[in-house]
Structure 1
Amino acid sequence: MRSFFLFLIVLSKLILPAKGQPEQQPNIIFILVDDLGYGDIGVFFQNERKGRNDRSEPWIMTPHLDNMAQEGAMMTDHYTAAPVCAPSRASILMGVNQGHAHVRDNQFDKEIGENHTMADVLKAAGYATVAVGKWGLQGKGEGPDWPTHPLKVGFDQYFGYIRHGDGHEHYPVEGVYRGSKEVYHNYEIVEGLDKCYTGDLFTARAKDYIIKHQEKNSQQPFFMYLAYDTPHAVIELPTQGYPDGGGLNGGVQWLGTEGNMINTATGEVDSFIYPEFAEATYDHDKDPSTVEVPWPDTYKRYATVNRRIDDQVGDLMNLLEDLEISENTLVVFTSDNGPSRESYLPQEYVAYTPEFFNNFAYFDGIKRDVYEGGLRTATIAHWPEHIKAGTVVNSPSISYDWMATFADAAGAPVPIRTDGVSLLPSLTGKGKQEASQIYVEYAQGGKVPEYAEFLEAHQGKKRGQMQMLRQGNMVGVRYNIKGHGDDFEIYEVTKDPQQGNDLAADNEALQTTFKATVLRNRIIDKQAPRPYDEALVPSMVVDKPKNGLVAKTYSVNSAWIPKVSLKAVSSKKVKSLAINKVSTKGNLVMWQGYLAVPEDGKYTFSADRGRSHFFMRIHDIGVLDGNYATDHSPEGTVHLQKGLHPVKIYYLKETRNTPLNLFWTDADGNKQEIPAGAWYR
């Protein structure tokens, strides 16, 4: 079904280009690294650390990433959708928050879900699409049977680790610390990857793809999802120093010969440490009068892996310059979550802790926390023709905004399901930036680490069920949630990045708003139960409501229901959802108003709409999604408080109008069509 759907959207693209599509669509490269902390990047934190010259506080330099930021935009208040990799990556690719995602919590290797992906959207806009690196969202099965293998979710090509756990080993053949792993090219296992360090391997493969694409089809834009598996976990070393130069004729190169796949597949596996780290010393006892001691080998390793990522990104950026496509290529660099304390090294090594380099920067929390250190990610955007050098974006944003951003850059419609907004206005300085909807939910055993750098109130705090949301400068956080009545800690993070001054006692109104907002942004997932799943979504007070809805129509050129920012071609007050009462102008109908819920309780919604594209939101909850799969009728369950709830219902008219009928089923199992008297405006 997905293949047929993609055929239709590509066909529609060929016949009718997307409205507003720019004359030259940019290439797009999304670089996602694994467990890199906000404090790992020079311009975000390490340069400041070096400037203090405290010999008891070692530092790491990232010159290429610093240069990328100086030529583009630093995004200082960018968040990840979840504090661990699988749900984070799923939200990015699907453009939705964790309250709407199919992959939540620690559901590694689960299928990503049947819906539009970032690759689908860009492929429909005419892009060649490729995924390189770590996946971990394929679902059950093997080979072609994986339900959401990259080739089945919008990518034309794939090269990398399919399974989540394989990404914990950075030598596929030798398997130094975690055993040998499988790298796939599309559905086939790649043989002959001896001595291939994955960071180099994925970079070489990415470069090879770009070079060949430009040789064969330079007029077609490409989208690359480049997902590294470093610096996460095992902290293995490369075989040798990074090759000189970079770009087309230097740096790492794809050779494509078994046993000699890349030009760094020689030398000793897990051996090379950058010279500046090999002899590095520090003031271990914070006493300048005593002799400094060498860095422990664990930290020499981490610094090398971190610096290697910097070289790999620099190499890729050089390639874009050499091919003369840098000016029209949007490159985004970010991480999937905050820093990790995992190392997977033998017992003779000291265990890794982010305290050594303060990878968490100014914040408390690490990977698996919803405090700022677990969610705030050092993010860079580079697009010379459009993003002014030296731009600093300090407005809050989140990783599921990238689908809408890339669609905007490509002149493509973004599916109505997305919770993200385009970040182009804040990046380019053109247009008004819509506020990002920043919401995270996550469940994890364990506690916040008891690091001396963390505030005492946070050290050892039990995690359990957690939530975070941000509105403006204010952040709400809940740990170990037992019920929806639990209060949020509230912080003004622009003034209090470490979240030490809880303002909850002085912000009762904001507390109420936060509690209502989190219920209005999510839907129940039985595979990731929450203690607030059955809490009633609060209704709203509406001044003098009148019976009926407002039906607006739009003329859209899309194979799915898009988020509409166009001016409506018609607007009409109607009594019901009857198609024959709506203006014949335009092909997309949006009914907007309020749904009057008669009693507190559980309501299950369903629809009869033939095979037409359809979507329904109550508040910001995606209750019914018939926008991707039109061959079945979806259902959605919400617990609603008695009263009025804002609703938007979207219907893409096909060549033959099909009646739209909406039903609700109460907690007692009574199903009926929603009566006309339940709609208000």
Structure 2
Amino acid sequence: MFQFNNSYKFLPLLFFSASMFIGAEGLCQSKNNNKKPNIIYIMADDLGYGDLSCYGQQKFKTPNIDALAANGIKFTQHYSGSAVCAPSRSSLMTGQHTGHTFVRGNKEAGNDKKGQIPLPDSAFTIAEMLQQAGYKTGMFGKWGLGFGTGDPNNQGFDEFYGYNDQKLAHRYYPPYLNHNQEIDFLVGNNWVKTQTYAQDKIQDATLNFIEENKDKPFFAYIPFVLPHAELISPKDSILAKYQGKFKEIPYTAEDKYSSDYGSDIVKYKYCTQETPYAVFASMVDRLDVYVGQIVAKVKELGLEENTIIMFTSDNGPHDAGGANPEFFNSAAGFRGIKRDLYEGGIRAPFIVSWPTKIKRGTVTNHISAFWDVMPTLAEIALVPTPKSTDGISFLPTLLSHKKQKQHPYLYWEFNIKNGRKAVRKGDWKAVLYNATTNGEIELYNLVSDPSENINVANKHLKVVKEMKKIMKLAHTESEVFPFK
């Protein structure tokens, strides 16, 4: 297990060159290296658009992630697949928006089955696509897309280490993690004692996978649990940086969703926390340290010239376990947080580092979403884009090419509280809550009103009519995830 100390903040910021080149004729392999580029896709959990210092965070710094942006491209209008964990991951994996992807909400499998509703056999994932392209595939972190047919090993991943059940991932000191089809019991953890920080173990497995596959093309999908609640950190130098820095509002046992480690623990709830602000900042800092370690490992193995790294978050910031997104301006001034289809719930940071192909310090306002990752990686891996995807490759944007196709619209739906829908079309954003009970469409112009404070639906009836039509056409019925 990694031992954290102050030396980690001095990790060199090491980045990647790619040994492929892209010319007028398309994507071609370098004469010096016919190996396809390695792909590392890192996804934080409940990290807000404003929780990185390169996106405006003022109360703490994320130097390693900031350096990825400085050495690559930063997207300002990228969107997650959904406003909560499971459907966002389903959208990413299948390349489909939530009107089409199978998993459209957080829902337990039930009937004494473990985990969440699983992806079916019929789902075709990024991992399966890259397996077929000759990649070794690994997934390290929180899955949340079910056991059985949905298990990572059954959805294209050769190696899996982490949490399958996202409710178990509410705890950073669980008794065990999943390793492929085996259980890996964690030393000193038994729901009472807390010795092994699970995210450290997951990081070990990630770095081992990169090292073990240095001689073949690999795809590493790294969905960190950080900084999802519960709010808890090892008592080390990272946490010490923030203790006493903020005026705290403790998260106590008076909250109905709190439960401390002990013989009477309610496992899916969150521990109490006397210093939630300090701990939250340390969790994002720790995430940044992990990113630095991954970059350092790639450099150590001499893979930087043939590796692409992507970084994002699965949805907007959370307010659970004592977290306070308003205090940290985690949504960067956008309206809403996790579970909202306003910008704060779905606009995500997105950074891609590919130094020999991407101009350093590039910033783009290209409108893109999770379902665009599949066709982008298909183009990079030189395989056909799956016909099932709703996505459009953003590879031209990465390479500063002018012929970037644009989406006619982006669509989201979420089945809670009578149903929620949203559409982004150009500068317009339509939001519909209470979809099954005759809710009214709200309309915002994201250029003049990025915070979605001024509903102009009554002034643009033609646009509203068009948005209603899109909401109907983009939605396919789901027996498993009906609006409720």
Aligned counterpart, 2:96: 96
Q: Give the Cα separation in 1 of the matches to 2:248 and 2:390.
A: 47
Q: 1:172 touches 1:193 (CA, 8 Å); kept in 2?
A: no
What corresponds to 1:161 in structure 2?
Answer: 163
- Tell me the equivalent position of 1:416: 387
- From 310, 324, 329, give the equivalent of 2:307: 329
Aligned to 1:269: none
**2:413 aligned partner, one-letter code:** E
For 1:600-679, list aligned pairs within 5 A: none
- The residue identity in structure 2 corresponding to 1:228 is F
Corresponding position: 1:221 with 2:186? no
Deviation of 1:193 after TM superposition, in Å, equals 3.7
Q: Does 1:477 align with 2:431?
A: yes
Equivalent of 1:506 in 459, 464, 467: 459
1:240: how far off?
2.6
Contact 2:433-2:440 within 8 A present in 1 as well: no
Q: Which amino acid aligns with 1:201?
A: K
8 A Cα contact 2:49 2:349, kept in partner? yes
Rg: which structure is higher?
1
Matches within 5 A, 1:199-214: 199-214=199-214
The answer to whether the 8 A contact 1:32-1:335 is kept is: yes
Change (3 A) 1:301 1:20: closer
**Matching of residues 532-611 of structure 1 within 5 Å:** none
Over residues 386-427 of structure 1, what are the superposed CA-to-partner deviations in whole Å (9 max), with x where a residue is unaligned?
111111111211111111111111111121010011111112
The letter for the 2-side match of 1:280 is K
- Kindly indicate whether structure 1 or structure 2 has the higher relative contact order, using CA contacts under 8 Å at least 6 residues apart: 2
1:441 aligns with 2:449: no
CA, structure 1 residues 85+24, in 2 after alignment: closer, same or farther (shift >3 Å)?
A: same
Identity of aligned residues (%): 35
**What is residue 278 of structure 1 aligned with on the other side?**
243
Q: Which segment drifts farther, 197-206 or 62-71?
A: 197-206
User: Following TM superposition, by how much is the alpha carbon of 1:20 offset from its aligned partner in structure 2, in angstroms?
Assistant: 5.9
Q: Corresponding residue for 2:291? A: 313
**Contact 2:248/2:274 (8 A) holds in 1:** no
1:603 alignment counterpart: none
The residue type paired with residue 428 of structure 1 is L
Partner amino acid, structure 1, of 2:482: P
| Cα deviation, residue 497, structure 1 | 1.4
Q: Contact between 1:21 and 1:412, CA under 8 Å: does it hold in 2?
A: no
Shift of residue 192, structure 1, vs aligned partner: 4.2
Give 3-state SS (helix, strand or coil) of 1:516's partner. helix
The question of whether the paired residues in 2 share the 8 Å contact of 1:87 and 1:107 is answered with no
Aligned to 2:119: 112
CA shift in 2, pair 1:495/1:321, >3 Å: farther
Contact 1:82 1:98 in 2 (8 A): yes
Cα pair distance change 1:528/1:283, threshold 3 Å:
closer
Could you tell me how far apart the structure 1 residues matched to 2:369 and 2:248 are?
A: 38
Distance 1:404 1:193 in 2: 41
| Structure 2 residues without counterparts, runs of 5 or longer | 1-25, 109-115, 189-194, 250-272
TM-score between the two structures when normalised by the length of structure 2: 0.82
SS in 1 for 2:413: strand
Normalising by structure 1, report the TM-score.
Answer: 0.59
Is 1:466 matched up with 2:420? yes
- 1:399 maps to 2:352: no
Q: Give me the whole-angstrom Cα distance separating, in 2, the residues matched to 1:116 and 1:352.
A: 36
Question: Any conservation in 2 of the 1:198–1:229 contact (CA below 8 Å)?
Answer: no
Q: Which amino acid aligns with 2:294?
A: L
Q: Given residue 111 of structure 1, which amino acid in structure 2 is its aligned partner?
A: P
Q: What whole-Å deviation, never above 9, does each CA across 1:266-297 have from its counterpart, x for those lacking one? A: xxxxxx6132x12314699xxxxxxxxxx971
Residue by residue over 1:156-202, the C-alpha shift from the partner in whole angstroms, topping out at 9 and shown as x without a partner, is 111111111111111123xxxxxxxx312111111344433223222
Whether 2:136 is the aligned partner of 1:128: answer: yes
Distance 2:372 2:118 in 1: 21
1:488: Cα distance to partner? 2.1
1:487–1:511 contact (8 Å) kept in structure 2: no
Match of 2:47 in 1: 36
Separation in structure 1 between the aligned mates of residue 196 and residue 355 of structure 2, nearest angstrom:
33
1:302 Cα offset (Å): 0.5
Q: What are the superposed Cα offsets for residues 86-120 of structure 1, whole Å, 9 maximum, x if unpaired?
A: 11101110110111111112224111122210001
Q: Distance in 2 between matches of 1:434 and 1:193?
A: 51
Deviations 1:524-565 (A, max 9, x none): 11222248xxxxxxxxxxxxxxxxxxxxxxxxxxxxxxxxxx
- The CA distance in 2 between the partners of 1:525 and 1:130, in whole Å, is 30
Q: Secondary structure at the match of 1:366?
A: coil
What is the distance in 2 between the residues matched to 1:136 and 1:507?
Answer: 40
Instruction: Give per-residue Cα distances to partners, 1:435-486, cap 9 Å, x unaligned.
Output: 13411000324xxxxxxxxxxxxxxxxxx41111111111111112235x65
Please say if residues 27 and 382 of structure 2, whose CA atoms lie closer than 8 Å, have aligned partners that are also in contact.
yes
Letter in 1 for 2:300: D
Displacement after TM superposition at 1:494 (Å): 2.6
Question: Given the alignment, which residue of 225, 231, 234 partners 1:235?
Answer: 231
C-alpha distance in structure 2 between counterparts of 1:97 and 1:201, whole Å = 32
8 Å CA contact 2:416–2:483 kept in 1: the answer is no
Structure 2 CA distance, aligned partners of 1:282 and 1:110?
41
Q: Which amino acid aligns with 1:310?
A: D
- Give the match's secondary structure for 1:76: strand
